[in-house]
Structure 1
Amino acid sequence: MVVYTQPITVPPAEAALFLVVTINPGKEGAVRSGLEQLPGLTRSVRYRLPENHLSRVVGISDSGYRRLFDGPRPRYLRPFQALEGPRHKAPATPGDLLFHLRAKTTDLCFELGKLVMEALGDSVTTQVEVHGFRYFDERDLLGFVDGSENPTGPPGDASVYIGDEDPHFRGGSYVITQKYLHDLTTWQAMTVEQQEMVIGRHKQDDVEFPDSVKPADAHIVVNTITVDGVQHKIVRDNMPFAEIGKGEFGTFFIGYSRNPEVTELMLQRMFIGEPVGNTDRILEVSTAKTGTLFFVPSEDFLDNLPDAPAHPDTSESTAPPLTMAQLKEGIANEGFK
């Protein structure tokens, strides 16, 4: 049976809007009504300028899913795991729904975002709103190309879309988001050679350093996930953002994966270190301000929402966080590459 997926593995956009919202008490029915309008709203705005390639992805968190839907749950859906390492912290922050809007131009992202929020009305409260933009040749505000290791084509689809391991949610995905702020004053005081050792790549041409040269705590070393000899990748669609008047410059990290444990293991390696203390050098200049995990359902799911629960579950999840060893075991046992 053909399953229609949300558009995750698409070419990099030039503009993006990220909205993370929470559901207000007693407003679950209104939110479901708003979600039912999403496919139609997306088609209406996209049709006005089809050449600008508007796309929309909606994600639902553990808390949002328990409040909105009855029946089976996605296998790996759980709250974002906050991390506190020897020097750096990755906070967990509120969020029931994620809207990730992308296009060639900002106007389409704005228009669809406005219509989505009008459809939801007073049923939600905005927790995060970030307007992303393309910065030169796909670079972040640190000046390095971002996302060049993303898998594409069939390998990209295999990395992000759920298959037979969770057949009820085939064609779905998971996404973890974090808002990072950069200390550009400290970063710009470093030489280009020092910056390159933080990342593990040449800044100008984006060529990766040989393994013999890269430090063990370089960004691309820490973020390479290999379990039992198999490298597991995610699809990043990070975007730079800035509020110049506030002096805030950053990257909105958004990583899609078929199994969120791959991204969770990546974050544990970044913030705690493997071994402990070997944390990602980029965190010396980049601070995580938010952290959320969402299930990304298929388009079929959105076109025919599951039944609402008789009594929305508003309790807090009590699931214990997974250790690095448990994450590795889960990834190894999953059986897909």
Structure 2
Amino acid sequence: MPKDTPESQSVCNTVTRSAIFIVATLVDGENNADTVRAWCADIAALVRSVGKRVPSGNLSCVCGFGSKAWDTLFGAPRPAGLHPFREVGEGERRAVGTPGDILLHIRADQMDLCFDLATQLVGRLGEAIAVVDEVHGFRYFDMRSMVGFVDGTENPEGREAADFTLIGDEDPEFTGGSYVLVQKYLHDMAGWNALSVETQERIIGRTKLSDIELDEAVKPSSSHSSLTTLVENGEEVKILRDNMPFGRPGMGEFGTYFIGYARSPRPIEQMLENMFVGRPPGNYDRLLDYSRAVTGGLFFLPSATLLEALAERAPQSNAACAGQQPVAPSPAEPRHDGSLNIGSLKGTSQYE
């Protein structure tokens, strides 16, 4: 790798036993924007300080920014593929977009490491942000999802993982960066568990115990695995998933936090289109009869090198140095009342 290649964030790290996902919005005010920019230079040091105490804990943190926040905090240039979350579907089967300017994906093999790092990172931001969603995820037995099937089997590995997730020459100012799409799903476990194992397997497209993909002759075209498999020019296009189960049994809450990394938002968005609308339309993912998306956000992850440099990059100074006009606003964000509307499918379509 050339010496001048930016160092990426910890996108391709191995799956850990614990994770914390935090989504926050930026509070209006230039002082708050200054606080967030300065914080960008502190993230790597905080990860080192907390992680050094337990070197075997595999602590890492990935930080991303939403479309509107990028313009507010950093201005031009902006990542080529960054835009507001695009809602798809309708009625009860809908991928909703919800507020979110900053995403933190904190991973470790011990929840105490995740917890301490989250405390340090959020504490540094203080009143500059408002946390709108926080999920504590855990590894479920042998990499199982909440619905009982192994998750992430088809994830790319090694060099292939980097090839599918990290930006290259297609957007040279953001080489080493990535895109991440997140959704919080809540499951109707009573309804799901009432199904026979054979019916569940046909919905997922894999065997439940052994995690073997069903033969094409018997696997429905509406299965989850069929609809999330993308092929272009004879080659499969992959994303990197690091999903985590979460829940509160006493509250009847059972969920999956979906998080998918890719070098462009396009393949993840196509998968959502296939799932929620269908391929062809109407041939939708039957898993959605038992799983409901209650949040959704798209974020850009700068390389670790750029993340630290962003501490010194305010929009006005950036435009002045480049001798350019001020950055144009990003496409309109969905209209929201500031809440995540958990338990409803409220949202504004990006296609309207």
Q: Could you say which TM-score interval applies, normalised by the shorter chain? A: over 0.9
Give the match for residue 26 of structure 2: 23
Give the match for residue 309 of structure 1: 315
Do the aligned partners of 1:85 and 1:277 also contact (CA within 8 Å) in 2? Answer: no
* Paired residues, number: 323
Q: 2:130 aligns with which of 118, 121, 125?
A: 125
Q: Tell me the TM-score normalized by structure 1.
A: 0.92
- How many angstroms does 1:318 deviate by? 3.3
Q: 2:159 aligns with which of 147, 154, 157?
A: 154
What SS class does the counterpart of residue 185 from structure 2 fall into? strand
List aligned pairs for 1:258-297, cutoff 5 A: 258-297=263-302
**Are positions 1:46 and 2:51 aligned together?**
yes
- How many angstroms does 1:316 deviate by? 6.7
Do the aligned partners of 1:140 and 1:146 also contact (CA within 8 Å) in 2? Answer: yes
Q: 2:15 aligns with which of 12, 15, 36?
A: 12
CA distance in 2, matches of 1:275, 1:2: 41
- How many angstroms does 1:230 deviate by? 2.2
Q: 1:5-38 CA distances to partner (integer Å, 9 max, x unpaired)?
A: 1111121110000000000011211111222211
Give the match for residue 80 of structure 1: 85
CA distance in 2, matches of 1:252, 1:74: 25
Q: Tell me the TM-score normalized by structure 2.
A: 0.88
Do the aligned partners of 2:84 and 2:332 also contact (CA within 8 Å) in 1? Answer: no
Give the match for residue 96 of structure 2: 91
- How many angstroms does 1:315 deviate by? 6.1
CA distance in 1, matches of 2:119, 2:111: 12
Tell me the percent identity.
44
Give the match for residue 65 of structure 1: 70
Q: 1:242 aligns with which of 243, 247, 250?
A: 247
Give the match for residue 231 of structure 2: 226
Q: For residue 42 of structure 2, what is the amino acid of its counterpart? A: Q
For structure 1, the residue ranges without an aligned partner over 5 or more in a row are: 324-337
Compared CA separation, residues 135 and 168, structure 1 to 2 (3 A) = same
Give the match for residue 190 of structure 2: 185
Q: For residue 21 of structure 2, what is the amino acid of its counterpart? A: F
For structure 2, the residue ranges without an aligned partner over 5 or more in a row are: 318-325, 334-348
- How many angstroms does 1:85 deviate by? 3.7
RMSD over equivalenced CA pairs, Å: 1.9
